[in-house]
Amino acid sequence: MNRGVVYYILGRFLQSVMVLWIIVTLLFLLFRLAPSNPLASYIDTTFTKQQEAAILARFGLDKPLGEQYIIYLFNLLKLDLGETFSYSGKSVMDILRADLPNTIYLTLSSLLLAYFVGVLGGIAMAALRGSLLERVGTTFTLMTRAAPQFWVGMLLLTFFAFQLKLLPSSGIGPAIVRYRWETEWDKLMSPVFWRHMILPTFTLALYLHGLPLLLMRSNMLEVLDQDYVTMSRLAGYSEWRVMIQTAARNAMLPVLTALTLGIGYSIGGNVVIEHVFSWPGLGRTLVRAVQQADYPLAQGAFFFIALIIVFMNFIADILYSLLDPRVGASAQAQVS
Amino acid sequence: MSRKLARISVIAALLALVMVAVVPVSSQSAGEMVPSIIVHSVTQAERPIEYETTRLVVENMRELGLEVEHRAIPWAQLIDEIWYSRVEGQGRAERPFQMTHWRMVGRPERSDPDEFTYNLFHSSVRDGGYNFVGYNNPEYDALAEAQRVEVADKEARLDLICEAQQVIRNDMVNAYFIHPLTPQVVNTAVFNPDSIVSQAGIGVHNFWTWIGIEPTTDDKTLITSTTSFLNSFNPLEIAGDAPSRVTEMTWDRLMRINPIGVAEPWAAESVVWEDPLNVVVTLRAGMTWHDGEAVQSDDAAYSFEAALAGTTQTDEDGKEEFRPEAPDYHPFARNVANIEIIDDLSLRFTLHTPSAAFETSSLAKLNLIPKHVWEPIINDLLERDDADADSIQEEIPIGSGPFKYVAFDVNEFVLLEAFDDHWARPKIDTWLMNVLPNQEATLGQIQAGEMNFLWEWPGDPGVLQDIVAENEHLDLFSAISIGFNYFAFNVRYAPFDDVSFRQAIAHAIPQQFIIDNIFNGLAAPADSFVSAALEYWRQCDDLPTYDYSIEGARALLESAGYSWDDDGRLLYP
Amino acid sequence: MQQDAMAREGQSGKATARFRQGSAIRQLWETNLEVFQRDKMALFGLFIFAIFAIVAILAPQIAPNDPLNPLKNNDGDWIKDAMPYWLAEPGEDEAEGYTNTFLLGTTNIGRDIFSQLIHGSRSALLVGFSAAAAVAVIGTVIGLLAGYYGGWIDTILMRAADVAFGIPFIPFIIVISAFFDPSIWNVVIAMAVLLWRDTGRVIRSQVLVIKEQAFVSAARVSGASDLRIIFVYIAPSILPLSFLYGSFAIAWAILTEASVSFLGFSDPETISWGYMLQDAFNSLALSREAFYWIVPPGLCIMLTVMAGFFIGRGYEEVLFPRLRRM
């Protein structure tokens, strides 16, 4: 790596940190607008003024705003997101630590499936360009992008879970099995877990496959026009070989970047799917926390999702500049 | 960045404008238009039944010439706008609440009418307690206090309770409309239906069922679920319905409320009143904690001492205030003046004042906790300012109840197993409660046999009836609850400070229509805070009735001096 | 959507050929005309919007019943869970004391599903078009300013875009919706606050190219003010791009509103398709297999969203001719 690239990465990194800091500040301000106070989680017959004060003190809400902000920032640096209102004796981190792996499994499995199908589909669409099949295929893909994910989830649920009773309808597994999972590894080794993952993964992948497919298709069409592809054709290589070996390899790069970005955005967008399938992840926790007025938890979940997005954006930027030789570091900095 | 901030402040400013635009409740004057009224309820998404009921009543109120806004907000926010917004200037809501849909749930300790009689209406609990409607009637206070100390003569107490119900019904402090018939579904292919106990006012999901239910197959696991939160496993915290189910199984109590609603000795072998202030309790011999230690009288004494523990602090105004370490249980132990240990198994409680409800709401309410576990924790808490027993989560909770802890994953599940050394060992081996906020999932699981005991159903009761009709292995149980749904009026402010106005609103509640159409028949009409499930305490003369009639309501308003302007809007007398 | 933008950004340079000197306004008109002449799908999208717009405007006339008030039978009870008349068993309605004329049946409370569907088109189009307008206008202005002026204005605006890209969209809307009283405008505000980022970035890079063109230099030499150059010379050339993003934003807004309503953060007194699905989901329409309740709102969402996609793609194919079907 040359020095320019290192400087570029460093600069990008610092920028990401700045962006994160601004987001965190906005988050802090946003949550001061919250409609209910933390006492709402405590209905009690015997509350005295002092007890109310004690609870406010416990959550640091009695201090001036500026001081609260400083404390908040320092705690964030230690990844200390505070105590939840509604889960007795648990910190926000305890809850999120349990949620994060589930969200990641769901996101990764659906993205991998979506990109595998999408890339192959994109190549096929490019190969079939102009045919009726391509029109049908592209229209179907557009439909999957246009259908609300939760609705597709509902239909799949009705069909596979309620009518055919083939697949479980919600959660990550019955508790009677789950309590034996002491580590994440136990969970991943359990067929029960994977069975529960099928429907949500499939629903998500159905939505997600559209982007790589359309992207791959247009990149392929573009690459197929290039001289070196024409050269390979003239050299007598089979159409299949031209497609896969020459064109697809070059068309893949932007798709990879999109995948990196996709990880970040899917984690933020999974909320609805996690709700439909009662999947115990970050999104479901966020929705529940907001409904319960558990603001530290909502804020924490929001922060976590933002952190992942900013990080993935950073990685995507780097990938973009490294993988795409046409865009030098300086040019890249100018374009975005 | 600057733009974003600006935009957020614009949103905030807009919001502030909206708030200012809402005119605060002003005092009334003759002939003035009754100002617009806000009626609260939870959201349609959260509890459709409550939302639809409120919507219906709001429509009817409009026919009385009122301008009414139905404000549906999430439960957490509702608490803020009702519970913490009782009087002007309190809380963050821009004005005190006016009228809201509310509900009280049935709990075993509510089998004695004392809790509702006293806590819902006594003027002393107006500012922070359950009397959030702000009822203030010295006559009623006297009744509520008298029934509490009327220990000796049960019939005299009944008269007092009846009179209290009359007063509240006349004054229309709360407009009761139904006691839910809590629908519960049990898979009778795996459980013997005759072994299921229905507890008065609670239903089949009760302690007696948990220990008595007989599995008919080799799989001796009871699997149930909750749609609400399962956020604590703590004998010193009352966290909600689902956690209460779990604590009452894991921790024994000196007495328990039996299926007909009366406290009977449980971990105590005997409970003997020496006089109205002194009671001697003798424990059963041979009981052990889940960790193997013996249960002794000093544990029982400590269970009450822990609830009484706290520190006294002085606030800025020099006023001394007591801060209990177990604020949830403190009210139930407060009446205890002294505890004397007689021997290993017996102890004597001395009370401050005689209390008719002491057995029900104290001896049958407080969980027995092991002194060797909790003393160090409570002592540590007494040193600290920033925490109380609510925030404690034991690694492995230790009780002496018929079930013991196996696993607990916050808001996911609780798994308990039968405690073999218990003198009343349950017939099932394992008890599991899942958190399933998704009702579709709940239905799917009970039909598929993944769950075999459905005890909580916030959704459309008609669905359960359909499911049971379609599935031979499922049986529907329902019992009138001690709990009730009602509309609460903030009687501190106009127009709800006027009895006639409140009575008119009561006439505008289509009770039978709600039961038939919203509850699908799974509700009983309510006219009091004492449920028909508590038969003894309902042996009263008939309470006043408020038949559904918009004309009746209008006539009542008219005779109270209200009139209508040309646009049909209601005017104050 | 965000990803689409990133992907498209790389190709933005290739659209330059289209932006040349000439009557900018006429150019704009021609481009728009070309989009709908060339691309039958885009025209179809426009057609779908037109149909739904008519339905929305005439909703009270078309809907046979009130969408919010439960229907009552002769006894005054609610007509709950009625099947569509073409599915219901004949005679059942008379036995229950009503005449079944419900095209899509009634909900578990007795609301007419078809009427709800008709009224739902109002919130969908209202949210879709106002959010799209907000996103396109804000994004275009920011893109123009950042691209034209460069320097610190550019830096600030583009860092703001970075921040907007870092804020998770759906969670943001959930929080906004929960903090303010439920209203469909929450979605519009949240979209306006966040989604200008895609449009802004792409338009900025386009402006960077255009401002070096001869006709812009000529204008500058002839003494035109900055604002005049931006809005009279440059803006018309990049407006098709704004339309492109606007069309996608319509789709995105309708989907988002549906998701937020589905999660239960919408105003129950404003019928929307997402709200209908939320109601169906919470009222256990799935296990009752009430397809007549679940399917239509989803189809309507899908149709309107696809209309937005079709139009957006129409612009895309004209602006980025390389993507054209070969």
Closest by Cβ to B221, choosing from A26, A29, A176: A176
Does the beta-carbon distance from A171 to B436 stay under 8 Å?
A: yes
The number of C-beta contacts closer than 8 angstroms across B and C is 73
- The distance of Cα C27 from the centroid of its chain, to the nearest Å, equals 26
Residues of B in contact with A175 (CB under 8 A): 409, 412-413, 415, 432, 434
- The distance of Cα C296 from the centroid of its chain, to the nearest Å, equals 18
Non-local (6+) Cβ contacts of C278 within 8 A are B45, C261, C262, C263, C264, C266
Q: Please report the ipTM that was assigned to this predicted complex.
A: 0.86
For residue range B310-329, what is the model confidence (pLDDT) as tens digits? 888 776 667 777 778 887 78
- Among B99, B98, B95, smallest CA distance to B24 is for B95
Residues forming a β-bridge with B404: B417
| Stronger pLDDT, C92 or B21, i.e. the higher one | C92
How close B66 comes to chain A (CA, Å)?
Answer: 27
Q: What is the mean pLDDT of residues C90-108?
A: 85
| Closest Cα in chain C to A35 | C179
Residue A30 and residue C176: Cα distance in Å, rounded? Answer: 9
**Amino acid type, C35:** V
Does the beta-carbon distance from C288 to B463 stay under 8 Å?
A: yes
Maximal C-alpha separation, chain C: 84
For residue range C183-217, what is the model confidence (pLDDT) as tens digits? 888 888 888 888 888 888 888 988 888 888 878 88
Does the beta-carbon distance from B321 to A33 stay under 8 Å?
A: no
Residue C144 and residue C230: Cα distance in Å, rounded? Answer: 7
Name the 3-class secondary structure at A50. helix
Residue B12 and residue A209: Cα distance in Å, rounded? Answer: 39
Q: B246-250, B538-542, B556-560, C220-224: lowest mean pLDDT where?
A: C220-224
Residue C308 and residue C312: Cα distance in Å, rounded? Answer: 6
Q: What is the mean pLDDT of residues A102-126?
A: 91
Q: A315-324, B187-196, C89-98, C252-261: lowest mean pLDDT where?
A: A315-324
The pLDDT assigned to C201 comes to 87
Tokens of C4: 């689409």
- The most confident of the ranges A64-78, A290-304, B137-151, B367-381 is B367-381
Confidence band, pLDDT 50/70/90 cuts, at residue A331: very low
Residues of B in contact with A89 (CB under 8 A): 232, 234, 390-393
**Amino acid type, B292:** G
Residue B43 clears pLDDT 70, i.e. is over it: yes
Residues of C in contact with A134 (CB under 8 A): 325
| Closest Cα in chain B to A162 | B444
Q: What is the residue-wise DSSP string for A162-224?
A: IIS--S--SSSS-HHHHTT--SHHHHHT-HHHHHHHHHHHHHHHHHHTHHHHHHHHHHHHHHH
Tokens of B290: 């889940």
Does the beta-carbon distance from A19 to C10 stay under 8 Å?
A: no
How close C164 comes to chain B (CA, Å)?
Answer: 9
What are chain B's partners, defined as 3 or more CB pairs within 8 angstroms?
A, C
pTM to 2 decimal places: 0.85
Residues of A in contact with B71 (CB under 8 A): none
Q: Which of A170, A184, A186, A273 to mutate to test the interface with B (most CBs of B within 10 A)?
A: A170
Closest by Cβ to A211, choosing from C4, C167, C302: C4
Q: A321-330, B328-337, C299-308: lowest mean pLDDT where?
A: A321-330
Confidence band, pLDDT 50/70/90 cuts, at residue A326: very low
Does the beta-carbon distance from A175 to B119 stay under 8 Å?
A: no
The number of C-beta contacts closer than 8 angstroms across A and B is 157
Residue B474 and residue C291: Cα distance in Å, rounded? Answer: 25
Residue A327 clears pLDDT 70, i.e. is over it: no
Q: Which of A151, A222, A229, A285 to mutate to test the interface with C (most CBs of C within 10 A)?
A: A151
The pLDDT assigned to C242 comes to 87
Tokens of B264: 């009977």
Closest by Cβ to B321, choosing from A50, A87, A161: A50
Closest by Cβ to A148, choosing from C158, C167, C298: C298
Residue C115 and residue C108: Cα distance in Å, rounded? Answer: 15
How close A185 comes to chain B (CA, Å)?
Answer: 18
Closest by Cβ to B441, choosing from A43, A48, A278: A278
The pLDDT assigned to B11 comes to 54
Confidence band, pLDDT 50/70/90 cuts, at residue B167: very high
Helix axes C40-57 and C24-38, enclosed angle (nearest 10): 90
The pLDDT assigned to C98 comes to 85
Residue B340 and residue B350: Cα distance in Å, rounded? Answer: 8
Does the beta-carbon distance from B128 to A288 stay under 8 Å?
A: no
The string over A31-55, giving b where at least 16 C-beta atoms fall within 10 Å of a residue's C-beta and e elsewhere, is beebbbbbbbbbebbbbbebbbbbb
Residue C11 clears pLDDT 50, i.e. is over it: no
| Residues 133-172, chain A, touching C (beta carbon < 8 A) | 134, 142-143, 145-152, 154-155, 157-158, 162-163
| Residues 83-102, chain A, touching C (beta carbon < 8 A) | none
For residue range A30-47, what is the model confidence (pLDDT) as tens digits? 887 776 666 655 554 445
Closest by Cβ to C284, choosing from B4, B44, B463: B463
| Stronger pLDDT, C87 or C302, i.e. the higher one | C302
Residues of B in contact with C108 (CB under 8 A): 460, 462-463
Does the beta-carbon distance from C282 to B48 stay under 8 Å?
A: yes
Does the beta-carbon distance from C159 to A18 stay under 8 Å?
A: yes
Q: B103-112, B206-215, B391-400: lowest mean pLDDT where?
A: B103-112
Tokens of A142: 């557009």
Confidence band, pLDDT 50/70/90 cuts, at residue A54: low
| Closest Cα in chain C to A258 | C3
Handedness of CA B565, B569, B570, B573 (dihedral sign): negative
What are chain A's partners, defined as 3 or more CB pairs within 8 angstroms?
B, C
Residue B28 and residue B30: Cα distance in Å, rounded? Answer: 7
How close B541 comes to chain C (CA, Å)?
Answer: 32
Looking at B292-429, which runs of residues are DSSP E strands? 310-314, 320-324, 336-341, 346-351, 403-409, 413-418
Q: How far from C142 is each of A259, B3, B533, C133, C135, CA to CA, in Å?
A: 28, 11, 67, 14, 10
How close B471 comes to chain C (CA, Å)?
Answer: 13
Residue B129 and residue B119: Cα distance in Å, rounded? Answer: 7
- State the DSSP code for A115: H
Does the beta-carbon distance from C180 to B15 stay under 8 Å?
A: yes
Q: What is the mean pLDDT of residues B245-262?
A: 90
Residues of A in contact with B119 (CB under 8 A): 45
Q: B65-74, B317-326, C145-154, C277-286: lowest mean pLDDT where?
A: B317-326
Handedness of CA A8, A13, A18, A23 (dihedral sign): positive
Chain C interface with B: residues with Cβ < 8 Å? 70, 76-78, 80-81, 108-110, 156, 159-160, 163-164, 178, 180-182, 189, 192-193, 263-264, 268-269, 278-279, 281-284, 286-288
Tokens of C318: 């004209």
For residue range A177-197, what is the model confidence (pLDDT) as tens digits? 877 787 888 888 888 899 999
Residue C173 clears pLDDT 60, i.e. is over it: yes
Residues forming a β-bridge with B178: B485, B525
What are chain C's partners, defined as 3 or more CB pairs within 8 angstroms?
A, B
Q: B524-538, C10-24, C234-248: lowest mean pLDDT where?
A: C10-24
- Among B98, B128, B85, smallest CA distance to B36 is for B98
Are the beta carbons of A226 and A172 closer than 8 angstroms?
A: no
Non-local (6+) Cβ contacts of A182 within 8 A are none
How close B489 comes to chain C (CA, Å)?
Answer: 23
Name the 3-class secondary structure at B2. helix
| Closest Cα in chain A to C3 | A258
Non-local (6+) Cβ contacts of B337 within 8 A are B350, B351, B352
The pLDDT assigned to A53 comes to 66
Q: What phi and psi, each to the nearest 5 degrees, are found at residue B124? A: -70, -20
Q: What is the mean pLDDT of residues C271-284?
A: 89
Average pLDDT, chain A: 80
For residue range B487-499, what is the model confidence (pLDDT) as tens digits? 999 999 989 999 9
The pLDDT assigned to A71 comes to 85
Residue C3 clears pLDDT 70, i.e. is over it: no
Tokens of C302: 């899908």
Q: What phi and psi, each to the nearest 5 degrees, are found at residue B172? A: 50, 55
Q: What percentage of chain A exceeds 90 in pLDDT?
A: 17
Name the 3-class secondary structure at C311. helix
Q: What is the mean pLDDT of residues B456-478?
A: 86
Residues of C in contact with B459 (CB under 8 A): 282-284
